Amino acid sequence: MREVDKDLLEKYSFKDKDEYLKWSQSFIPTYIRRSQHEVLWTDGDCGVAEVSTSLDTHGVRISLIGCSYCDFMASELADLVEEIA
């Protein structure tokens, strides 16, 4: 699990940790796109994960950020992976 740090906040254009926390606790599942193949996802209930695809392995990497779990509905994850693949 990666901790929320200054680099992550800058990478996804949060002005500070308070803005990040407000976003991650909005009760609205959503994501922020960083690049064509990488997004930051929140389940809206403090769960946050960085989701990326690899062109080399055709796989998906999901890395938790500052939490022990992050919920995805199967359809949400499938749509997200299709969009960034």
Q: In what order do the strands lie in the sheet with 30-35?
A: 30-35, 38-42, 48-53, 60-64
**pLDDT of the residue at 75:** 94
| Extents of the domains making up the chain | 6-84
Q: Tell which residue, 42, 78, 9, 77, has the closest CA to residue 50.
A: 42
**pTM for the complete prediction?**
0.91
Blockwise average pLDDT, block size 10, the chain, 85 residues: 94 97 97 94 98 86 96 94 89
Entry field: residues in the chain: 85
